[in-house]
Structure 1
């Protein structure tokens, strides 16, 4: 066993050296990308805040209360038009802190303190929280308007039984509770991994000091050699136990990251596609491809005048001149731009969703390999970093869409 200890230590040192040679390049690119996205988010927020409607500066609000008659509890509706940039700024800031800290630790490993080393994993763990909240609240406004907004029938018909899903308490809890649960989970995981990593670094430093002392004090046929070897192997056992614990927590963090990102992206896609269908129908009506009203023949009621009015509107909508009048108006052009931006954003989000699924499958199949092979660790980190950059870019694209369309 005495020969395996130096071999284990050398393998660990080689793994650290390989990671330190490749990791700075990955985090440098990640930091630059998120710095650009942060600047774009700040510029977009400034443009939205400084925009004027009818000569008056637009009011900035992040939440509004939507009251319904005969109902005391209001609905809480998030404003994705403004909150999305602030959340993206927070997310990009976390990624930049992670990138700068990691680059400094890998380039100058002796300069930062152990707390700085350990904080790296914390910043990376919580960086996904603002993105997840932005996609959740951005999609929530759409799903509220398209599906869950109380209809006029619910307000006027007292006999209508309202589903508990549409109850304000349930909707408000779901709207605020999901991001709160996600934030709590990743905060706990990030703090736990940071504490475990600091303990590993302390044990690793103690191991290096112990090896140096043993090399100085070693003498052939020394009766204390056995006791010193036992102390050395106890340190190895402690480090292995700590590595096992942080690996288990890292697996939970990765699985949680995959579950949250996939579910949030799927939710965003569903709500955005629904909003896109609604926008497409509105655009068809605006361009005259569809009529605003449909004929309804009721044999019990006289609707001749209404039928004539609808026929008149439909005949005008079918004429070429009437269509061109609508196509050239500013509102129709804004609807068209919004429609195109929605589906471009959905296409990018489908790519991000596919990458997230691939990462989850790879991590599940290669869990044991990732723990022992450094090249797989680098591949996984590169894939996660690329997905994070695409996720932030899609968030910026949604913000840009709201700037142009809103």
Structure 2
């Protein structure tokens, strides 16, 4: 386990393996008209179970922070059940098949692929950005020096979408060769051996490369997001569960938002340590890893979701449209979903209420 790597890094090879297949195949294989119903069934005394598919690692995501801290979990109004997933595509396929009604930490490509296949879900919260960084050597002193050079990344991933988008903003998309690799480690190894001139890698590999004083960082995923190519790891819920347990969905969004604020505040160590018990990580390891996770702030929630009930014109929808174009170029979807189609799969009202009043929390 890479102890300092965010969850996106920890699961990147699995995401690539899933991305190698056409997105629609995994999502349509287990179609179920009552998606999420099995995970939402009443338990003892008619209580509700909120099942969440999540990436298990030393980095403690918001769903684990909520589950691991009674003061947060008790306000959800349902019993939280965490089920590990190994890729966004697989997680969304399981959600569609009814394994659980929520999925956490899924990035742009799998979500956009799911929307293109009309998976009955709503994106309800933006959790964190990727923690990727573009690392180059001493010969590259300014962005234009990348012309004629090669950049390695994780093929077909959110990072692939991000770096290609950034190259467009710099007028370098036709001048730089992007080389896809099957893992973050493979990108790092190729860079160290001189097979590529730059590497767009997650924080664990970036930190390792930066140990060499000749290397330096050019741009991060968060900076790329500000330029219009945001790749967000989000929380999504099935339409069925949201229709029958709206208050639970709202409460979960509120507590997830609160957990992210706490994980960046003075009580962070306490909350992260409590969450670490659920994933078998030592508190010290979890604290170090989680504090490097770039959570999306409350302010930026509205930046992406907007303030209207119609999310079709939101920055999040725009980002998914761009991701759809990327997926079509990669041959992973047959057509790019429209802004209206994407907007129908985003429910911004939960975030809007959580940011406005915190649901009384």
Q: Give 1 or 2: higher helix fraction.
A: 1
The structure with more radius of gyration: 1
Q: TM-score range by the shorter chain?
A: under 0.3
TM-score of the pair, normalised by structure 2: 0.24
Greater share of strand residues, 1 or 2?
2
Q: Provide the TM-score with structure 1 as the length reference.
A: 0.22
